[in-house]
């Protein structure tokens, strides 16, 4: 059985969504981010990214990780590419060319989008969005997203999905990376193709199931 290490309020959300899309039975092992705890190494601390039991599994001390049989993997976007390839179906590539495009768009999301979108969500998570520094950080991140958004907006012209004629792992991965920037409504409203596409992604039952589980997790520890 697939085991997912992480919590829904983290990048593990992507893997939980993927497991729901694929209809996989899985075991969830909650692992908190160490930054959420006053003393992550305290004896009574819950399992977290600095716990020795977890760093033995993932020395990078980050979530999510998975165990699938004898395979241990880290990095949420790579995990999703693996799960799509292993289980097949419409979320995976139908051809080697599609496989290449799925990987290309996923790497694009990680390298060109996520560094900026993460700066936005962390500003909000830290309650700094209305401070001068926070406003400057968000403005700089939105500026950094202008070119990637323009590229994706153009790509989606006349298309429903990123690769092929169906929802794939590329859509899931990119939608989750962009979710960190959804607070910036002006940015999305200026790109109607992206706006419509992300609404299609987030209307899927598997996404709603993931978000329902996420909403049950405490924001604070």
The answer to whether residue 214 sits within a structural domain is no
* Domain finish residue from 65, 90, 115: 90
Residue 182 banded pLDDT, cuts 50, 70, 90: very high
Kindly state the average pLDDT of the residues 100-128: 97
Residue 221 banded pLDDT, cuts 50, 70, 90: confident
Residues 43 and 8 in one domain: yes
The answer to whether residue 185 sits within a structural domain is yes
Give the global pTM.
0.96
Percent of the chain with pLDDT over 70: 100
Residues 75 and 112 in one domain: no
What's the chain's average pLDDT? 97
* Domain finish residue from 72, 90, 108: 90
- Structure tokens belonging to residue 100: 């290449």
Cis peptide before 11 (omega within 30 of 0): no
| Burial bucket for residue 10 (CB in 10 Å: 0-12, 13-18, 19+) | buried
At residue 201's C-alpha, the angle toward residues 147 and 96, to 5°, is: 75
The answer to whether residue 9 sits within a structural domain is yes
Residues 120 and 202 in one domain: yes
- The CATH number covering residue 191 comes to 1.20.1050.10
Residue 96 banded pLDDT, cuts 50, 70, 90: very high
Residue 122 banded pLDDT, cuts 50, 70, 90: very high
Kindly state the average pLDDT of the residues 145-165: 97
The answer to whether residue 40 sits within a structural domain is yes
Residue 75 banded pLDDT, cuts 50, 70, 90: very high
Quick check: 148 pLDDT over 80?
Answer: yes
pLDDT at 220: 79
Residues 22 and 82 in one domain: yes
Kindly state the average pLDDT of the residues 109-123: 98
pLDDT at 219: 86
Residues 60 and 159 in one domain: no
Quick check: 5 pLDDT over 80?
Answer: yes
Residues 188 and 122 in one domain: yes
Kindly state the average pLDDT of the residues 181-205: 98
Asked whether the beta carbons of 201 and 171 are under 8 A apart, the reply is yes
Quick check: 63 pLDDT over 90?
Answer: yes
pLDDT at 9: 97
String of DSSP letters for the chain = -EEEES-SSSTHHHHHHHHHHHT--EEEE--B-GGGSS-TTSTTPPSBTTSHHHHTT-TT--S-EEEETTEEEE-HHHHHHHHHHHH-STTS-SSHHHHHHHHHHHHHIIIIIHHHHHHHHHHHHTT-TTSHHHHHHHHHHHHHHHHHHHHHHHHTTT-SSSSTTS--HHHHHHHHHHHTTTT-HHHHHT-HHHHHHHHHHHTSHHHHHHHHHHHTS-S--
What is the tens place of the pLDDT at every residue in 33-62?
Answer: 999 999 999 999 999 999 999 999 999 999
- Structure tokens belonging to residue 163: 């690769």
Provide the domain limits for residue 197: 96-207
Q: Under 8 Å CB-to-CB from 122, ≥6 apart: which residues?
A: none
């Amino acid at each position: 059985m697939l085991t997912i290490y992480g919590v829904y309020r983290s990048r593990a959300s992507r893997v939980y969504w993927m497991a729901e899309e694929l209809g996989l039975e899985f075991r969830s092992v909650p692992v908190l981010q160490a930054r959420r705890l006053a003393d992550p190494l305290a004896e009574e601390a819950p399992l977290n990214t600095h716990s020795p039991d977890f760093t033995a599994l993932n020395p990078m001390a980050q979530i999510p990780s998975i165990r699938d049989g004898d395979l241990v993997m880290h990095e949420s976007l790579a995990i999703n590419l693996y799960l799509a390839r292993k289980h097949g179906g419409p979320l995976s590539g139908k051809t080697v060319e599609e496989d290449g495009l799925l990987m290309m768009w996923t790497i694009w999301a990680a390298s060109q989008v996520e560094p900026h979108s993460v700066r936005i969500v962390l500003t909000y998570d830290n309650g700094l969005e209305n401070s001068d520094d926070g406003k400057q950080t968000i403005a700089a991140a939105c500026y950094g997203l202008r070119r990637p958004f323009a590229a994706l907006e153009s790509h989606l012209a006349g298309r429903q999905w990123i690769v092929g004629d169906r929802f794939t792992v590329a859509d899931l991965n990119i939608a989750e990376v962009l979710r960190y920037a959804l607070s910036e409504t002006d940015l999305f409203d200026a790109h109607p193709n992206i706006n419509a596409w992300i609404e299609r992604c987030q209307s899927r039952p598997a996404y709603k199931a993931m978000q329902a589980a996420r909403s049950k997790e405490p924001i604070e520890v």
